[in-house]
Chains A and B, each alone.
Chain A
Amino acid sequence: DGGITQSPKYLFRKEGQNVTLSCEQNLNHDAMYWYRQDPGQGLRLIYYSQIVNDFQKGDIAEGYSVSREKKESFPLTVTSAQKNPTAFYLCASTGTLNTEAFFGQGTRLTVV
């Protein structure tokens, strides 16, 4: 079945450590997105990528980095520069034309 997979579902890290969140899709979608969601709030765009080897900053890119070496994969690294990394992270992908976005089930990151 085609879909978008995020792993792991829950992630714990110590403060000061970098951590990479995985996002993989087998939908042959060109575009992929990363969002952050804090309790009781909407989705905020971190980074997005329209094609392989290209990506753009979203609204809250500081303290995060991404890569897009393969069409299927768009990993997000939460660096130690991110002041408040504990949050729910969602990955999405879209195809061309007026197709809807597909979302992963999210990774809940807790930094202690």
Chain B
Amino acid sequence: DAKTTQPTSMDCAEGRAANLPCNHSTISGNEYVYWYRQIHSQGPQYIIHGLKNNETNEMASLIITEDRKSSTLILPHATLRDTAVYYCIVRVAETSGSRLTFGEGTQLTVNP
């Protein structure tokens, strides 16, 4: 699986959009981009994933660049409960049980 790089930490004001970047310059054509978040001392929670097109769900939006070398997770109206570590990973999804490797993630702090 391709490696990803994310900023160590970010801050965001409550009610504003939080834009979390991720670089995955060595991503392969069959690898998806996944985002998870982990609130302190809990198991990570799935947020969203995509291959080429931008994706949106009730939690967030995922913007993937045309060359697929980077992506941005957008939390449109951040709340204090969105304070967490956000992980961007890439993995092949067509086969069962491909290796699932996490990096260090980005600590997002939403400030009142």
Residue positions of A touching B, CB distance < 8 A: 30-33, 35, 41-45, 48-51, 56, 58-59, 88, 90, 92, 94-106, 108
Shortest Cβ distance from B6 into A: residue? A42
Evaluate contact between B102 and A35: CB separation under 8 angstroms: yes
Which residues of B have CB within 8 Å of A30?
A: 96-97
Q: A35-B102, A42-B87 are in contact. Are A103 and B93 (CB under 8 A)?
A: no
Separation in Å of the A49 CB from the closest CB of chain B?
7
Q: A42-B102, A45-B100, A98-B49 are in contact. Are A90 and B44 (CB under 8 A)?
A: yes
* A28 CA / B104 CA spacing, docked (Å): 29
Asked whether B58 is an interface residue with its Cβ less than 8 Å from the other chain, the reply is no
Ordered by A's residue number, 25 sampled pairs between the chains whose C-beta atoms are within 8 Å are A30-B96, A30-B97, A31-B97, A42-B104, A43-B87, A43-B102, A45-B99, A45-B100, A45-B101, A50-B96, A58-B99, A92-B44, A92-B100, A94-B96, A94-B97, A96-B96, A97-B94, A98-B32, A98-B51, A100-B46, A101-B44, A102-B46, A103-B45, A106-B42, A106-B43
Separation in Å of the A28 CB from the closest CB of chain B?
12
Q: How large is the interface on B (under 10, 10 to 19, 20 to 34, 35 or more residues)?
A: 20 to 34
Which residues of B have CB within 8 Å of A32?
A: 97
Shortest Cβ distance from A95 into B: residue? B96
Evaluate contact between A101 and B42: CB separation under 8 angstroms: no
Q: Which of B51-100 contact A (CB under 8 A)?
A: 51, 85, 87, 93-100
Tell which of B94, B96, B103 touches A51, judged by Cβ atoms closer than 8 Å. Answer: B96
Evaluate contact between B43 and A90: CB separation under 8 angstroms: yes
Q: A42-B87, A42-B103 are in contact. Are A101 and B93 (CB under 8 A)?
A: no
